[in-house]
Chain A
């Protein structure tokens, strides 16, 4: 019989509570041996397939970037009116993919270093050692860097990634093969398409893959697709730990959408728009940091705190990492995954970390505004000027502000992971339904009242 756990004796005629008890008994049966099929080095193929589109789309994106920076008029015509959106879409896909890859590589490294330093260890130190140096002044033995220098294990993740790619691609024999294969793809897609509304900067024009009318709503909608990938993985693995992990993920992710939605709504009410670029535009350039939404009202500050903590639960990070709790569930929903399939789950997790951090930065921390009033005014002016240099500088500052703020939030996500012990499932649900939900409603009502009372925010009302 194909399909997971075909041998379980379970009639369909029982009451649901009784049936649940039997499911748990059967799942905890220790005689559940698993056999595997696999091929070595298969993990390399999906990776190799990426290169051709990367090269073609990369050239077009480079050209569009030149147009974007210099303000050249675009070529027009029948062919380009159809081809540009297609090529641009393909190009954005690759920009995001490359960004996710590089970000995940260094986020994993950063996570290991942060955890190490928080525990008085050094973490990876050796990989990427540079032997030999360049002399600046041979007579005084003055070198550009030490003779044998290891920049804190900066290539550790690359080595790990190569190892993962070269590993055997194992699939449990009794697994539901197609769902098992599709699961990491669905999980990654869910995170990947939420990048559509994440701006890299918005100084000259909105440099967002798609500046949708309903950007915030879109983000809230697509973040839940990842949960389906996790459920698919857990169900198809034919493994009790994986199934438990998937169930926990489903419970947690669906519940935490509510406080996240309420926190979003509070920011949306303050900006009066669901469009991401409008929300950022409402947070500057006057009054510097005081214009950021976190400082706009106590309710928005509370909404930011609720969103940040809920987003940890949404992307299954500690202290809410119940779906993969290593000490109880081996590694939860991806217990049976290995090789490249496992690393795609990993990529999805780290991409989700960046996405939620970037969205918090955009909604509450002023997006591409730096928070320093003169610099913000320079950004606003550079958009109108024709000079290449101010435009280039403005784009640089904008990208730095968005990515920098997001990275600071990612650091706090990591610090939280290595500080707090894992919560129990009932504690996680208690926090969501009995703490965040009422307080989320309070922020929405209070934030709306605040906006009606102080139209345009308190800096404008107080400072003129």
Chain B
């Protein structure tokens, strides 16, 4: 892909992930926020795909869009039917919040502008080796050889969370534990 096309696609996905993120905290409706999240998550998945990390990108779709977002919407809809309007921040809180935001923004902007490769976007984004075919196969074999211990620990932790959730959610757990 030529550099201009690459940059165009990058800015498309960047806008897709940033604009909804802004809308989430500008907007006052919780359910709308949850729907805006769809755009942010999809934009991030697109960025991962662009970097050649297809497995990561599809995991983003599977876990965040297909799982977490659906459950989030489910929870929001089940508990609160009226649009839950978030109260406006009071002026007394706005001043320290504004100072903190501007300071953080300046700090990040300084770091980002000084970073190498900001001018040559496509080169800095093309991670060596990640775009070659067979990256997923490599990932799989690494997970089951070199990184087998962290992989297994993570799966045991997840299993423990699953068992715990089933215990908490089982029928009548509130009355006779």
Q: Do A and B come from one complex?
A: yes
Question: Which of A8, A228, A246 lies in contact with B38, CB distance below 8 A?
Answer: A228
Question: Which of B29, B74, B134 lies in contact with A247, CB distance below 8 A?
Answer: B74
Q: Are A235 and B80 in contact (CB under 8 A)?
A: no
Q: Are A235 and B73 in contact (CB under 8 A)?
A: yes
User: With A6-B83, A10-B81, A221-B59 as given contacts, are A250 and B65 in contact (CB-CB < 8 Å)?
Assistant: no
CB distance from A106 to the nearest CB of B (A): 30
Q: Does A12 contact B (CB under 8 A)?
A: yes
CA–CA, A214 to B65, complex, Å? 18
User: With A3-B29, A20-B78, A228-B65 as given contacts, are A274 and B84 in contact (CB-CB < 8 Å)?
Assistant: no
**Do most interface residues of chain B lie in helix, strand or loop, or is the interface mixed?**
helix
Having A12-B84, A81-B2, A213-B136, one finds 20 other A-B pairs with CB under 8 Å, namely A3-B82, A6-B82, A16-B79, A82-B2, A85-B1, A213-B134, A214-B55, A217-B58, A220-B62, A221-B66, A224-B70, A227-B70, A228-B70, A243-B77, A243-B81, A246-B77, A250-B73, A251-B74, A254-B67, A274-B136
CB distance from B56 to the nearest CB of A (A): 10
Q: List 29 A-B contacts (CB under 8 A).
A: A3-B82, A3-B83, A4-B81, A5-B81, A10-B80, A10-B82, A20-B79, A23-B79, A26-B81, A85-B1, A179-B35, A213-B134, A214-B55, A220-B62, A221-B61, A222-B61, A224-B65, A224-B67, A224-B70, A227-B66, A228-B70, A231-B74, A231-B77, A243-B81, A250-B74, A251-B74, A254-B70, A254-B71, A254-B74
Q: Does B135 contact A (CB under 8 A)?
A: yes
Q: Are B77 and A235 in contact (CB under 8 A)?
A: yes
The chain B residues found within 8 Å of chain A, CB to CB, are: 1-2, 5, 29, 31-32, 35, 38, 54-55, 58-59, 61-62, 65-67, 69-71, 73-74, 77-84, 133-137
CA–CA, A433 to B2, complex, Å? 48
A-B pair count, CB < 8 Å, reads: 107
Q: Are A247 and B71 in contact (CB under 8 A)?
A: no
Question: Which of A27, A217, A228 lies in contact with B55, CB distance below 8 A?
Answer: A217
Q: Does A218 contact B (CB under 8 A)?
A: yes
User: With A221-B66, A224-B65, A254-B67 as given contacts, are A19 and B77 in contact (CB-CB < 8 Å)?
Assistant: no
User: With A23-B81, A235-B73 as given contacts, are A214 and B54 in contact (CB-CB < 8 Å)?
Assistant: yes
The chain A residues found within 8 Å of chain B, CB to CB, are: 3-6, 8, 10, 12, 16, 19-20, 23, 26-27, 81-82, 85, 176, 179, 186, 212-214, 217-218, 220-225, 227-228, 231-232, 234-235, 243, 246-247, 250-251, 253-254, 257, 274
Give the residue among B38, B66, B83 with the most A Cβ atoms within 10 A.
B66
Which residues from chain B contact A232 at a C-beta distance below 8 Å?
35
CA–CA, A5 to B66, complex, Å? 27
Which residues from chain B contact A253 at a C-beta distance below 8 Å?
70
CA–CA, A212 to B137, complex, Å? 12
CA–CA, A222 to B59, complex, Å? 10
User: With A16-B79, A221-B59 as given contacts, are A228 and B73 in contact (CB-CB < 8 Å)?
Assistant: yes
CB distance from B68 to the nearest CB of A (A): 10
Residue of A nearest to B74 (CB): A250
Which residues from chain A contact B65 at a C-beta distance below 8 Å?
221, 224-225, 228
CA–CA, A246 to B82, complex, Å? 16
Residue of B nearest to A193 (CB): B61
Which residues from chain A contact B79 at a C-beta distance below 8 Å?
16, 19-20, 23
Q: Are B73 and A8 in contact (CB under 8 A)?
A: no
Q: Are B61 and A12 in contact (CB under 8 A)?
A: no
* A-B complex: 10 closest residue pairs judged by Cβ atoms: A224-B66, A221-B62, A3-B83, A221-B61, A221-B58, A250-B74, A10-B82, A23-B81, A8-B82, A231-B73
CA–CA, A119 to B77, complex, Å? 40
Which residues from chain A contact B1 at a C-beta distance below 8 Å?
82, 85
Which residues from chain B contact A218 at a C-beta distance below 8 Å?
54, 58
User: With A179-B35, A217-B55, A221-B59 as given contacts, are A257 and B66 in contact (CB-CB < 8 Å)?
Assistant: yes
CA–CA, A42 to B71, complex, Å? 34
Question: Which of A8, A213, A228, A247 lies in contact with B78, CB distance below 8 A?
Answer: A247
CA–CA, A231 to B65, complex, Å? 13
Q: Are A235 and B31 in contact (CB under 8 A)?
A: yes
CB distance from B46 to the nearest CB of A (A): 12
CA–CA, A274 to B134, complex, Å? 11
Residue of B nearest to A10 (CB): B82
Q: Are B77 and A247 in contact (CB under 8 A)?
A: yes
CA–CA, A19 to B77, complex, Å? 11
Q: Are B62 and A250 in contact (CB under 8 A)?
A: no
CA–CA, A246 to B76, complex, Å? 12
Question: Which of B54, B69, B80 lies in contact with A19, CB distance below 8 A?
Answer: B80
CA–CA, A251 to B81, complex, Å? 17
CA–CA, A217 to B58, complex, Å? 7
CA–CA, A6 to B134, complex, Å? 52
User: With A224-B65, A227-B66 as given contacts, are A213 and B74 in contact (CB-CB < 8 Å)?
Assistant: no
Q: Are A231 and B61 in contact (CB under 8 A)?
A: no
CB distance from A176 to the nearest CB of B (A): 8
CB distance from A299 to the nearest CB of B (A): 21
CB distance from B45 to the nearest CB of A (A): 9
Which residues from chain B contact A251 at a C-beta distance below 8 Å?
74
Q: Are A254 and B73 in contact (CB under 8 A)?
A: no
Residue of B nearest to A234 (CB): B77
